Amino acid sequence: MLFELAIAAYATACGFVAAGVLSSFYTLVTNRPVRFSVELNTLWRGAVDLVLCAFTGPFIIMRNAIRGRVQEQRPVGWLVASTAIAAGWSLCSGIVMVQLVLAMRHGLM
């Protein structure tokens, strides 16, 4: 039981880190923060925006929740709920990231 919990915590941390790194890279390249929007000008742009939203979602949620708590004085429950949603999302994306890395490792050996 403890081993599975450690794996879940590791995958959640991997998901948060991946969201932060992708968000920082997007901001570095475009000079604007990442947000939940999908521009459907072309199929390629829509697909990239969709994948970007899927993997940076936890970062966007937490950034907006912290800003809402500090600037708009939203209740602490709002922050706790946002953290729970972001953690669940990070767990899912972290599992995808860990599986991708493991598949790449096995493919290279």
Kindly state the percentage of the chain with pLDDT values over 90.
Answer: 82
According to the model, what pLDDT value does residue 109 have?
62
Tokens at residue 28, please?
């570095």
Q: What is the mean pLDDT of each run of 10 residues along the chain (109 residues)?
A: 94 96 94 89 89 94 95 94 97 94 84
Average pLDDT, the chain: 93
- pTM over cut 0.75: yes
DSSP output for 4-71: HHHHHHHHHHHHHHHHHHHHHHHHHHHSS---S----SSHHHHHHHHHHHHHHHHHHHHHHHHHHHHH
Phi-psi region of 36 (alpha: psi -120 to 50; beta: other; left: phi over 0): beta
